[in-house]
């Protein structure tokens, strides 16, 4: 202390802030270094701007490179961070570091002409993030000399209530912050620790960060560059860095937006879906930056959860941050950013599908499940997601998927609905009863081969004004269905009276199983099929719900279905005769027909009861 030393008390609110910062504001102590580097970057950006404004004036220490230098002393437990930025005068040291929420960056920006704003890249609230240093330091010393060459000063405090300021001759332009580390914080004087923090939070700061003479932030903020100047190899290398990947990405999207928000984004689609390999649910791979400083790693806020497979960065100048930079302050604004990025990415996928459908199908096979999840979870993006869905159909080649738009283009002129049916495989669907009439009338039907697909299409509801309808609905009516002739032994079909009598008998016999029995107008060859009286709940959706109940120990009971019978089928005609000659055996056959139809619908039956019944039917057949 000298006679020129002055001692000051922190503003009362600043004392409270210090206690909050040191004890509870930041959840991770590592961010103190991010805050100090951010402040140094602010100071360097201010000097860069000042040098442009003062081009006719010889600036003090103009020869110094614009950089941030970090030095460590493990023995003395010291961490020093130095910048060659704009520096601070005595009054600025007192004001910036002694008064709560004084925003040096904000004040500086307010003084700039509107035309010069776009040239300035400042972040944070200097003097607030600075206090994070006291989380790890028992004492903080700040030595600073301003850009105009005025006298330098030293600011010292232990963060307990007061700070001192005294002249400090012989300083270069800029600011040096010396942290005397607390007990238990000695790791912050070790190179490996500091280097890892820089790479995590400050890898893209636009000025060199040198640690013990070596530049740490060697990777460029590629998203901030003009994409017309970037080579594909640069995108690949950046993806490997940001995504911790070994191969090149499947897709990359690089875009900027000024309206409604200032956004720079660089997103990558990997080649592999790790969730498919049983690695569990992935965390988001997109990091959120503000002015190239990491704000939220693996951000859960900036993209919906169903786009968690994406890797990359989003940087927004408009993003407001709370005092710690660890929480997003304006949820409405964050939602707006999420909406802009999500819609832009979905538009990009649609463009890729139109440009290279084969390449898009590679993406779909790997990541289509996430887009399906988006349909079921996010109504806001139904229109965009609907264009991206792909399914096999009765008119697509085996193993090849089509879009809903392809289906609509091929629809018959009198067709008002898009039809789909679920099954475990294409072969199983085409061998089943539900597609017979579609095949006969040359009506395309979509094959939904995954259990989630029916949920997806039911949530979607319609596409291009056409309602999406499951083919196992009881109320399904195909165009010209009534006029369609039935193949097979139509001339031997049961007459109306016989059909009515058989239906009444089946209703009584299967009353514990079915809700209703009706004459089918869509079966061609099969004897019977199960349909859903509930127009919303398809068989596959009910299977998923039943499986969920089973997991919870609630059993697999499902609601009663309707049974449609084909009066022209030989088995149904024989059953009508059997009712008169051997009603008890006819009942066995009726139950077997029901079980067979349930299996074809993909619904659960009691296998033991069915096997025992089969044996009885076989024995009866052999006896006759």
490-538: pLDDT as tens digits = 567 899 999 999 999 999 999 999 999 999 988 999 999 999 887 556 6
Q: Is the pLDDT of residue 3 over 90?
A: no
Does 558 lie in the same domain as 617? yes
68-91: pLDDT as tens digits = 999 999 999 999 999 999 999 999
The tally of domains found in the chain comes to 3
Does 22 lie in the same domain as 167? yes
Is the residue at 449 inside a domain?
no
Is the residue at 77 inside a domain?
yes
What DSSP string runs through 150-206? PPPEEEEE-SSSEEEEEE-TTPPSEEEEEEEEPTT-GGGGSHHHHHHHHHHHSTT-S
230-257: pLDDT as tens digits = 999 999 999 999 988 889 999 999 999 8
CA torsion through residues 476, 477, 482, 483, sign = negative
Does 121 lie in the same domain as 83? yes
- Residue 178: give its domain's CATH number: 3.30.565.10
What is the pLDDT, as a whole number, of residue 567? 95
Does 188 lie in the same domain as 296? no
* DSSP helix, strand, coil percent of the chain (3-state; round to 5): 45, 20, 40
Q: Is the pLDDT of residue 326 over 70?
A: no
Q: Is the pLDDT of residue 550 over 60?
A: no
Does 38 lie in the same domain as 174? yes
Is the residue at 592 inside a domain?
yes
Does 264 lie in the same domain as 144? no
Q: Is the pLDDT of residue 481 over 80?
A: no
Does 494 lie in the same domain as 349? no
Q: Is the pLDDT of residue 485 over 80?
A: no
Higher-confidence residue of 104 and 465: namely: 465
What is the pLDDT, as a whole number, of residue 164? 94
What is the pLDDT, as a whole number, of residue 28? 77
Boundary of a domain, candidates 215, 236, 262:
215
CA distances from 335 to 112, 312, 339, 369 (A): 30, 18, 6, 24
Contact 553, 473 (CB under 8 A): no
Average per-residue pLDDT in the chain?
Answer: 86
What's the whole-number mean pLDDT along residues 608-621? 92
Range of the domain at 125: 6-215
Does 539 lie in the same domain as 518? yes
Q: Are strands 311-316 and 285-290 parallel, antiparallel or unpaired?
A: parallel
Minimal CA–CA distance to 320: which of 309, 311, 304, 331? Answer: 331
What is the pLDDT, as a whole number, of residue 490? 57
What is the pLDDT, as a whole number, of residue 451? 83
Is the residue at 236 inside a domain?
yes
496 SS3 class = helix
pLDDT band at 2 (very low <50, low <70, confident <90, very high): low
Q: Which helix (H) or strand (E) holds 37?
A: helix 31-53
Q: Is the pLDDT of residue 363 over 90?
A: yes
Is the residue at 391 inside a domain?
no
38-76 burial: b if 16+ Cβ within 10 Å, else e? bbbbbbbbbbbbbeeeeeeeebeeeeeebbbbbbbeeee
What is the pLDDT, as a whole number, of residue 486? 47
146-168: pLDDT as tens digits = 999 999 999 999 988 889 999 99
Higher-confidence residue of 553 and 228: namely: 228
What is the pLDDT, as a whole number, of residue 91? 92
Is the residue at 389 inside a domain?
no
What is the pLDDT, as a whole number, of residue 537? 62
Boundary of a domain, candidates 364, 393, 413:
364
What's the whole-number mean pLDDT along residues 554-581? 86
What is the pLDDT, as a whole number, of residue 296? 83
What is the pLDDT, as a whole number, of residue 105? 41
What is the pLDDT, as a whole number, of residue 56? 59
Among the residue ranges 46-55, 304-313, 539-548, the one predicted with the least confidence is 539-548
Q: Is the pLDDT of residue 132 over 90?
A: no
- Residue 338: give its domain's CATH number: 3.30.230.80
Q: CA–CA separation, 278 vs 272, rounded Å? A: 12
Does 586 lie in the same domain as 560? yes
What is the pLDDT, as a whole number, of residue 356? 96
Is the residue at 432 inside a domain?
no
Minimal CA–CA distance to 261: which of 330, 206, 198? Answer: 330
Higher-confidence residue of 437 and 555: namely: 437
pLDDT band at 120 (very low <50, low <70, confident <90, very high): very low
What's the whole-number mean pLDDT along residues 300-316? 93
Q: Is the pLDDT of residue 376 over 90?
A: yes
Is the residue at 288 inside a domain?
yes
What's the whole-number mean pLDDT along residues 113-117? 35
- Residue 583: give its domain's CATH number: 1.20.120.790
Does 296 lie in the same domain as 347? yes
pLDDT band at 316 (very low <50, low <70, confident <90, very high): confident
pLDDT band at 323 (very low <50, low <70, confident <90, very high): very low
What DSSP string runs through 87-139? ---HHHHHHHHHSTT--HHHHHHHHS-GGGGGG----S-TTTGGGGGGGTEEE
Does 134 lie in the same domain as 32? yes
pLDDT band at 603 (very low <50, low <70, confident <90, very high): confident
Output 4-10 pairs: Cβ under 8 A, ≥24 positions apart.
Answer: 4/166, 4/167, 5/164, 5/165, 5/166, 6/164, 6/165, 6/166, 7/162, 7/163, 7/164, 8/94, 8/98, 8/162, 8/163, 8/164, 8/165, 9/161, 9/162, 10/98, 10/157, 10/161, 10/162, 10/163
Q: Is the pLDDT of residue 328 over 90?
A: no
Boundary of a domain, candidates 309, 329, 364:
364
Does 82 lie in the same domain as 113? yes
């Amino acid at each position: 202390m000298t006679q020129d030393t002055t001692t000051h008390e922190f503003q009362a609110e600043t004392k409270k802030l210090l206690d909050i910062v040191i004890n509870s504001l930041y959840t991770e102590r590592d961010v103190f270094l991010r805050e100090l580097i951010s402040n140094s970057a602010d100071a360097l950006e201010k000097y860069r701007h000042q040098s442009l404004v003062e081009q006719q004036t010889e600036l003090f220490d103009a020869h110094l490179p614009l950089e941030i230098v970090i030095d460590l002393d493990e023995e003395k437990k010291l961490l020093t961070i130095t910048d060659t930025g704009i520096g601070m005068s005595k009054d600025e040291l007192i004001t910036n570091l002694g008064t709560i929420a004084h925003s040096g960056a904000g004040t500086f920006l307010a003084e700039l002409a509107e035309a010069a704003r776009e040239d300035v890249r400042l972040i944070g609230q200097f003097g607030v993030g600075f206090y994070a240093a006291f989380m790890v330091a028992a004492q903080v010393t700040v030595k600073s000399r301003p850009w105009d060459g005025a006298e330098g000063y030293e600011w010292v405090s232990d963060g307990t209530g007061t700070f001192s300021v005294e002249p400090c001759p012989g300083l270069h332009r800029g600011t040096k912050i010396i942290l005397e580390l607390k007990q238990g914080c000695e790791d912050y004087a070790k190179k490996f620790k500091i280097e890892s923090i820089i790479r995590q939070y400050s890898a893209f700061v636009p000025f060199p960060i040198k640690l013990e003479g070596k530049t740490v932030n060697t990777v460029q903020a590629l998203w901030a560059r003009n994409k017309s100047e970037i080579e594909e190899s640069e995108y690949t290398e950046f993806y490997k860095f940001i995504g911790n990947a070994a191969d090149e990405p499947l897709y990359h999207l690089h875009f900027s937006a000024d309206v409604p928000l200032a956004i720079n984004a660089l997103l990558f689609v990997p080649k592999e879906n790790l969730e498919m390999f049983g690695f569990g649910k992935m965390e988001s791979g997109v990091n959120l930056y503000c002015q190239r400083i990491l704000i939220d790693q693996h951000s859960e806020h900036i993209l919906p959860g169903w786009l968690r497979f994406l890797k990359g960065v989003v940087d927004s100048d408009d993003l407001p941050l709370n005092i710690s930079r660890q929480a997003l302050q304006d949820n409405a604004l964050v939602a707006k950013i999420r909406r802009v990025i999500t819609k832009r990415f979905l538009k990009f996928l649609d463009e890729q599908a139109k440009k290279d459908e084969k390449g898009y199908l590679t993406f779909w096979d790997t990541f289509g499940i996430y887009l399906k999840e988006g349909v079921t979870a996010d109504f806001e993006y139904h229109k965009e997601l609907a264009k991206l869905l792909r399914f096999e159909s009765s008119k697509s080649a085996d193993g090849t998927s089509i879009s809903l738009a392809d289906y609509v283009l091929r629809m018959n002129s009198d067709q008002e609905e898009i039809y789909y049916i679920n099954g475990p495989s294409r072969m199983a669907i085409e061998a089943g009863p539900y597609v017979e009439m579609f095949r006969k009338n040359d009506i395309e039907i979509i094959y939904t081969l995954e259990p989630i697909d029916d949920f997806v299409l039911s949530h979607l509801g319609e596409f291009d004004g056409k309602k999406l309808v499951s083919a196992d609905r009881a109320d399904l009516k195909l165009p010209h269905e009534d006029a369609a002739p039935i193949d097979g032994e139509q001339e031997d079909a049961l007459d109306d009276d016989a059909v009515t009598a058989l239906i009444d008998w089946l209703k009584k016999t299967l009353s514990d199983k079915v809700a209703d029995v009706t004459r089918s107008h869509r079966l061609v060859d099969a004897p019977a099929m199960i349909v859903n009286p509930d127009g919303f709940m398809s068989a596959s959706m009910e299977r998923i719900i039943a499986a969920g109940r089973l997991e919870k120990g609630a059993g697999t009971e499902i609601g009663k279905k309707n049974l449609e019978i084909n009066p022209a089928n030989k088995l149904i005609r024989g059953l009508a005769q059997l009712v008169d000659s051997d009603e008890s055996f006819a009942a066995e056959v009726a139950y077997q027909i029901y079980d067979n139809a349930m299996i074809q619908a993909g619904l659960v039956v009691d296998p033991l009861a069915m096997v025992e019944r089969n044996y009885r039917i076989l024995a009866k057949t052999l006896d006759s």
